[in-house]
Structure 1
Amino acid sequence: MEKRTFLKLSSTLLATPILSPLLSWTADSKLQNWAGNLQYSTDRLYPAKSIAQVQEFIKKQPKLKVLGTRHCFNTIADSKDNFLSLQAMDDVISLDTNAHTVTVDASMKYGQLAPYLDKKGFALHNLASLPHISIAGACATATHGSGVKNGNLSTAVSGMEIITAAGDIRTLSRAKDGDTFRAAVVHLGALGVVTKVTLDVEPTFLMRQDVYENLPMAQLKDHFEAIVSGGYSVSLFTDWQKSRISEVWIKRRIDKGVKLDAKPEYFGATLAKKNLHPIAELSAVNCTEQMGVPGPWYERMPHFRMGFTPSSGKELQSEYFVPRKNAVEAILAVERLRDHISPHLMITELRTIDGDNLWMSPCYKQPSLAIHFTWKQEWAAVRKVLPMIEKELAPFKARPHWGKLFTMAPSVLQSRYEKLPAFKELVKEYDPKGKFRNAFLDTNLYGSSKVVT
């Protein structure tokens, strides 16, 4: 799970006038995503520093997409016309200590927000494995952490400000807007430009992280729920070989007055004697502290340190969500493909996510297991393996992560989302001429055959 070099806008880029296109990061390079597996279809990138500039740009352009931290591995955020960047707009707008909410500019990253909240005595309910992603982008695609009682990151959204295709500002809240709000949170970039997000917060807390090695895969058959419920957040890592889970990462909250320790064994796995990387052969120097050392929530829930700039190694990612009631069957189904998967795999992570009521969330109405694949950057081979995985997971009506690689036919994908027709009606209201549509949305939400990745 080596991660990408995090690309930042330069001061020159940020100083460029709103209506002057930025042709490229450098004179001889093209805009690419974080992984480097995708070259975007245009280099026309416009930075905005204010809501007024965002509105002006939207009104003048017939087609555009917002380009954020670029952690999507497919073309969901791609455009052949124009990109809009909000990276200069990344401040905390307000912290409401009575309502337990924080409102931020949508392009703010979790790694920026978390230390601020902690200093004020607050915390978020969960974080993803990397803190370097933008809040708006993560919520738009239902990105998640782990924990049987933890919803994905978008479930913390209690309000949002969005600018429609007409340049109008609309504010939505969980308290007032019912179905419209539930449709809009995981919006896939189809509704407009999100400029502000309000998140639920809670009192800050400490955590510890313990790692176990070599959990027999057979233990999942009889003890899956107990294994994944052993902490506030639990992640299982496997390369699908040797009938084992190679590492179990258990993150536990430390409640005042309650002493926690780590038993030497965990369902047949043994307690690690040193910090580990999810890929055992790699150094754990950039991983969050383990060995039961107490620390702030935001320094334990991610797998990688906040201050660590992700390395420039190459990878691809895919992920499929299945109902948690089918978790063991789904894991065993994938294990049958181990000889096809392992030659191209860096690591698989298994995580649990609670169900939610957000229309386009992969966890809509179902507590889920997410089966995540971090691949070597061998797309020709991976592209042949993904249909095999999707076939094995078909009985469980698996839903792919919106921002990662999959080959599922659009008609199948669409059948997995009962609220999709109603969501498309909201898209028509906010964006009647398809200003924010691109090839990915045209194919996967409206098409019937070839998938665009």
Structure 2
Amino acid sequence: MATNWAGNIAFRAARLHTPGSVARLREIVAAGQAIRALGTGHSFNAIADTHGDLVSVAGLPRTVEVDPAAATVTVGAGLRFAEFTGAVHEAGLALHNLGSLPHISVAGACSTGTHGSGTANGTLASAVRALEIVTADGELRWIARGDADFPGAVIALGALGVVTRLTLGLVPAYEIRQWVYEGLPYERLREGFDAILSAAYSVSVFTDWRPGATAQVWLKRRTGDPGDPGDGPAPESWHGAVPAEGPRHPVPGEDGATCTRQSGVPGPWHERLPHFRAEYVPSSGDELQSEYFVAREDGPAAFDALTRIAERIAPVLQIGEIRTIAADDLWLSPAYGRATVAFHFTWIPDTGAVTPVLAAIEDALAPFDARPHWGKLFVMGHERLRELYDHYADFEALTAKLDPRGVFRNDLVDRYFPGTG
């Protein structure tokens, strides 16, 4: 792979390895001087880049071991979510949530703080119960919840080693009905901000931030939950919005047939929680992405702050999305210690045009201690990031402990964690 999925990052690695076994991976790591792990390439910054050896985990054993008694599944790090969620469902179990794309690798998603939506739903990484990792000396180590290093080892940006397997906690299987509503007036969204975002198991609000625009809302309700209309029709009006007349795509003008089933047709969790169907490529990759996370109670004020700079955002935006995430205890999680609202931006593929807008967004959201998504574009420096994470220094210490030679460092890690170099 010469570039990431979006094509905005050209990898500089001298060599690309795709080991077929953990034993071979351990040999590569033990002999290496500069190594970064590569998942499916869905990050938009240089988090996976290196001048040394790039190691794809796609060739590692494709483990899928469901343990019904423990309500866990242990999976190979390179597996995409779509490649194992069906087996989990067949066992009568489920993950608590999924991201927008079922095409991303489990290790890459968990290591960068990727998430879905829902006020009671944590990041994808919050499901991790244990992980197997090859550390800088080539040793294989399991780190499990309860271990002192665990809170810093799950969302670790690839800075501690190469993850080979993860054990994820599961819940009983469930079904989801998904509805899309259109024409939500901005004033109604602002007035009912928290109520709208907490109205279903998972809620996504899409907007292009243009003055006078309306929003589109995707409601994903578990069957039998309060508010589920069963097999009957959805309400004809909801906060001033109306049901979509056919399948919709988040980006106006794109084909809704590539998206998961809508119009309230019930289906298993893994076929409804993502926005996009596993059998379709969700888009061409001609985009950039950024995302910022604020405390849930600051969501309305942060929305107001972004509305005030909408004239800067809209010209370079394809679509924006607003979601919620439950608090967790993982040191570098964007939802660490606080219930969270996330403001996501899918940009046009023009880094020069987007970069000054990122600075404007970060200035607007600074009063709310907005944390950026580690795998997407942002411009804030390490001094500001250090202020946003209580365990920043603890993570630096953990990095120095597990990678004293700096094998897994790269320019991005050096820039944001200079104290560990």
TM-score bin, normalised by smaller chain:
over 0.9
Q: Percent identity?
A: 45
Aligned ranges 1:235-274 → 2 under 5 Å: 235-255=204-224, 259-260=229-230, 261=232, 262-274=234-246
1:298 aligned partner: 270
After TM superposition, the score normalised by the length of structure 1 is: 0.89
Give 1:343's aligned amino acid: P
* SS of structure 2 residue aligned to 1:328: helix
Deviation at 1:244, TM superposition (A): 4.2
* SS of structure 2 residue aligned to 1:429: helix
CA distance in 2, matches of 1:90, 1:181: 23
1:220 aligned partner: 189
1:324 lines up with 2:296 in the alignment: yes
2:383 aligned partner: 411
Give 2:88's aligned amino acid: L
1:191 lines up with 2:163 in the alignment: no
CA distance in 2, matches of 1:351, 1:40: 31
Contact 1:114 1:298 in 2 (8 A): yes
Contact 2:3 2:10 in 1 (8 A): yes
Superposed CA deviations along residues 276-299 of structure 1, whole A, max 9, x for unmatched, are: 111222210101111111111111
Deviation at 1:309, TM superposition (A): 2.5
Aligned ranges 1:332-351 → 2 under 5 Å: 332-351=304-323
Aligned ranges 1:24-43 → 2 under 5 Å: 31-43=2-14
Of 173, 187, 194, the match for 1:204:
173
Give 1:422's aligned amino acid: D
CA distance in 2, matches of 1:43, 1:436: 15
Superposed CA deviations along residues 170-226 of structure 1, whole A, max 9, x for unmatched, are: 11111x31x311111111111111111000111211111001111112123332221
Superposed CA deviations along residues 147-171 of structure 1, whole A, max 9, x for unmatched, are: 0000010000001111110111111
1:427 lines up with 2:399 in the alignment: yes
1:173 lines up with 2:136 in the alignment: no
Deviation at 1:242, TM superposition (A): 3.8
Of 356, 359, 376, the match for 1:384:
356
Paired residue total: 417
1:153 lines up with 2:129 in the alignment: no
* SS of structure 1 residue aligned to 2:418: coil
1:230 aligned partner: 199
* SS of structure 2 residue aligned to 1:285: helix
* Structure 1: runs of 5 or more not aligned: 1-24, 26-30, 449-453
Runs of 4+ in 1 over 6 A off after TM superposition: none
1:58 lines up with 2:67 in the alignment: no
Deviation at 1:93, TM superposition (A): 4.2
Of 366, 372, 387, the match for 1:400:
372
Deviation at 1:245, TM superposition (A): 4.0
Give 2:265's aligned amino acid: V
Indicate the RMSD between aligned Cα atoms, in angstroms.
Answer: 1.6
After TM superposition, the score normalised by the length of structure 2 is: 0.96
1:18 aligned partner: none
1:95 aligned partner: 66
* Structure 2: runs of 5 or more not aligned: none
* SS of structure 1 residue aligned to 2:258: coil
Deviation at 1:303, TM superposition (A): 0.5
